[in-house]
Structure 1
Amino acid sequence: MINVLFVCLGNICRSPMAEAVFRHLVERENISNKIKVDSGGTGGWHIDEVPHIGTRKVLDKQKISYSGMKARQVSKNDWNDFDYIIAMDDQNIKDLQKFNTQNEDVVVAKLMDFVDKPKEQEVPDPYYTGNFDYTYELVSEGCTNLLQYIREKHNI
């Protein structure tokens, strides 16, 4: 089982969007028995909250489920539980360092690192930009490429 964790600041906009999109792709390809998906935030302000209304609207428009998703904060245990920890921006990467247990087997990267010639190096936070559609566009491209990378690397 390959375990993937998406991370942003508060776990209500970008990372739950990525979790939902990635899970949708995994289910569509009938490989849910091989890849587990979750998301978390580096901060704890929104623990137990459902995804932001903007994220829910975009996912509803795309017919992608976010059922049962609630915000949680990243913990040190995540370095034991996940093979991939995928952040949305450079600040998330820096913030993740305080949780890292130095498990060198875990791949820590930004989502846009998996996109050739990305429009952005980071996924902008729609909590501040208000542009959930653009965030979805970037997340969707990143998740598609990440899944392809994982399938090739792990022969799935």
Structure 2
Amino acid sequence: MRVLFVCLGNICRSPMAEGLFRQMSQRRGLDSRVEVDSCGVGDYHVGEPPDPRAMREAHHREADISELRGRVIRSDDFERFDYILCMDEDNLQALRRMAPESRRAHVGLLMDFAHEDTSAEIGDPYFGNTDNFGHVADQIEAGCQGLLDHIEYQDAPD
């Protein structure tokens, strides 16, 4: 199962989602069955590390994202990944405009997988304060938890 997390610039939300999802899948023993990556819709931060506030919040949750580097989505991602999940409606609309009709991937919002009653979007914390990163990480964890449940359910024997 291949999962790609997407936000605008790939330095805040999507690298946190990549790191937290990887760490959560390891804890559940699913890491050998799941490949994860992240990217941005825009090419603003290609090659750059995640925002220091995102790295700090991920580290606080025992996920190291310091080695990740920003990249932009590519056309072959729509064939390579099973799920391409973005953080907000603006990025979802951009992805849908870019996606070929014959795409393999499910393109949607990460929060569509969250079990609890939460916002459908994960807001961009970039221009906010450090507290915003904690709230965003809580939302990401809720979405990732639901996604992992979904993946386990799909892989369960009939």
TM-score range relative to shorter protein: over 0.9
Hey, what's the Cα distance between the residues in 2 that align with 1:58 and 1:101?
Answer: 35
- Post-superposition offset of 1:117: 4.5
* 1:77-88 matches, cutoff 5 A: 77-88=76-87
Superimposed CA distance per residue, residues 107-154 of structure 1 (whole angstroms, 9 cap, x where no aligned partner): 111011112353211001100233101001100111111111111123
What corresponds to 1:12 in structure 2?
11
Matched, 1:147 2:145: no
Q: TM-score, normalised by structure 2?
A: 0.92
Structure 2 stretches of 5 or more lacking a match? none
Hey, what's the Cα distance between the residues in 2 that align with 1:28 and 1:116?
Answer: 19
Aligned residues: 155
Q: TM-score, normalised by structure 1?
A: 0.93
SS at match of 1:108: strand
What corresponds to 1:108 in structure 2?
107
Hey, what's the Cα distance between the residues in 1 that align with 2:42 and 2:78?
Answer: 17
Going from structure 1 to structure 2, the CA distance change for 1:126 and 1:78 (only over 3 Å counts) comes to same
Report if aligned partners of 2:114, 2:145 keep a CA contact under 8 Å in 1: no
SS at match of 1:152: helix
- Post-superposition offset of 1:104: 4.7
Quick one: percent identity of the two aligned structures? 35
Report if aligned partners of 1:75, 1:99 keep a CA contact under 8 Å in 2: no
